[in-house]
Amino acid sequence: MKKLIETIRNISKIDELRRRILYTIGIILIYRLGSYVVLPGVDPSELANLKNQTSGGLLGLLNMFSGGAFSNASIFALGIMPYISASIVIQLLGMAIPYFQKLQKEGESGRNKINQITRYLTVAITGFQAPSYIANLVNQLPAQAISPFDPGVTSPTTFFWVSSIIILVAGTMFVMWLGERITDKGIGNGISLIIMIGIIANLPFALFGEFASRMEEQGGGLVIFILEIAFLVLVILLTILLVQGTRRVPVQYAKRIVGNKQYGGVRQYIPLKVNAAGVMPIIFAQAIMFLPITLAGFAESEMMSGFASTFSNINGFWYNMVFAIMIIIFTYFYTAVTINPNQMAEDMKKNGGFIPGVKPGKRTAEFLDDVMSKITLPGSIFLAFVAIMPAFVSIIGVNQSFANFFGGTSLLIMVGVVLDTLQQVESHLLMRHYDGLTKSGRIKGRTASGM
């Protein structure tokens, strides 16, 4: 507690860090307020059916990622997931199409062009998903809930459809803009923080709901509830180990004498993370698993409706199997995107470094690539297992809303985003010669010295 108070005092002494934190909090408040602004023409008192529909299943997950905006028929109902989907498409194109590969190598100008294309694609994806959402909204709400202030309207008009689509697209783009503002002027990754805030907003209600269900007759009582909390803490600790786990690769630097000073001649270590992709494989895989919901809105055939129904059951076998496989694939994919063994080998060679027993250059790159492949496999499998754990917890009777926090996308995103945000805060503190957030001054696993 004393360490926490001291850290808060240190944060308050750094003007830039204090401004960034306050700016981030302000943006988050704007996002949370917007999630309660209902689409024009919808009676907010008639949303009971929509809230029941999103109480569980894949729609429940989508509602959680949007911070409850989906069930509120909010202008932010589609949340940030269309942007995530667009990012997935662009990154996949970067591996297959030379034009995007060229942009990736053009530095800042290339990144700006890619971001612009991603925004355009986000508009297109949101424009595709918005009619599906409105169709579901119309089916779930009673006739009098649409345009309640116009007694002569008993069904949604063309104006309602067009205006709602435009507002939903604008809402998603505004949320994306808020996330970019956090990344540029706030603290942490804005897009990830927005997703995490939506998840955390549901935690108190899920916790209270599980407590109430356990305290009911034949619900297990307080003992079972305490055991569930203890198991949740254990899962959180295992998730932190997964996110922070590293393997150290020794690097020997040759001794050099420049003038009267000696450089190198010491052994250091490169920390290769077991889960170098972080939470992005989870976010990417979950974004794709939301596709059945969109398809269901346009489905007319029984076969398509059955397919969407099967992959909308988050406790079903096929959903979890496909979800786990996609997480493993995306973990390898994102690791390949973020970790470049050839560049690492080249940098080591330029600085006079080498891995003992391995020739510099191509052999070093092959060695690093082999090590990354070996440590990524168990990391991706464990990541997939934690992601599908809520399905197993639900089998033993845990409330679905609370089960989502026993691993799964929710927990992994929360742990990963919190650690990354704390790392940025700690970096600001260490740059000003203040102690970090731990006794050692470094968050374990986030830097080379914390291996």
Whole-angstrom CA distances from 410 to 5, 305, 414 are: 28, 27, 6
pLDDT of residue 107: 76
- What would the pLDDT profile of 364-383 be if each residue is shown by its tens digit? 888 888 888 888 888 888 88
Res. 87: pLDDT tops 60: yes
Res. 434: pLDDT tops 70: no
Res. 352: pLDDT tops 90: no
pLDDT of residue 97: 83
Per-residue burial over 307-344, b = 16 or more CB atoms within 10 Å of its CB, e = otherwise: bbeebbbbbbeebbebbbebbbebbbbbbbeebebeeb
The runs of H, that is alpha helices, within 396-449 are 400-403, 408-431
* 154: confidence class by pLDDT, cuts 50, 70, 90: low
* 200: confidence class by pLDDT, cuts 50, 70, 90: confident
Contact partners, residue 23, CB within 8 Å, separation at least 6: 181, 182, 185, 186
For residue 253, the cross-strand partners are 353
pLDDT of residue 175: 93
pLDDT of residue 447: 39
- What would the pLDDT profile of 111-133 be if each residue is shown by its tens digit? 888 889 999 999 999 998 898 88
The two tokens of residue 400 are: 């679905």
Query: What are the boundaries of each domain within the chain?
Result: 35-186, 200-451
Question: Out of 145-149, 171-175, 353-357, 358-362, which region has the weakest mean confidence (pLDDT)?
Answer: 145-149
* 25: confidence class by pLDDT, cuts 50, 70, 90: very high
Res. 246: pLDDT tops 90: no
Task: Enter the CATH code of domain 200-451.
Answer: 1.10.3370.10
% of the chain surpassing 90 pLDDT: 10
- 256: enclosing H helix or E strand: strand 256-258
* 450: confidence class by pLDDT, cuts 50, 70, 90: very low
Q: Give this prediction's pTM.
A: 0.75
- What would the pLDDT profile of 279-319 be if each residue is shown by its tens digit? 778 777 877 877 766 665 555 555 555 666 667 777 788 88
Res. 27: pLDDT tops 90: yes
Question: Out of 39-53, 345-359, 381-395, 427-441, which region has the weakest mean confidence (pLDDT)?
Answer: 427-441
pLDDT of residue 28: 92
CA dist., res. 140 & res. 53, Å (int): 8
Res. 167: pLDDT tops 80: yes
CA dist., res. 451 & res. 447, Å (int): 7
Q: From 362, 282, 296, 369, select the one nearest 140 (Cα to Cα).
A: 296
pLDDT of residue 445: 41
pLDDT of residue 94: 78
DSSP string, 308-334: HHHTT-TTSHHHHHHHHHHHHHHHHHH
Averaged pLDDT, 264-281: 73
437 against 131, higher pLDDT: 131
Res. 451: pLDDT tops 50: no
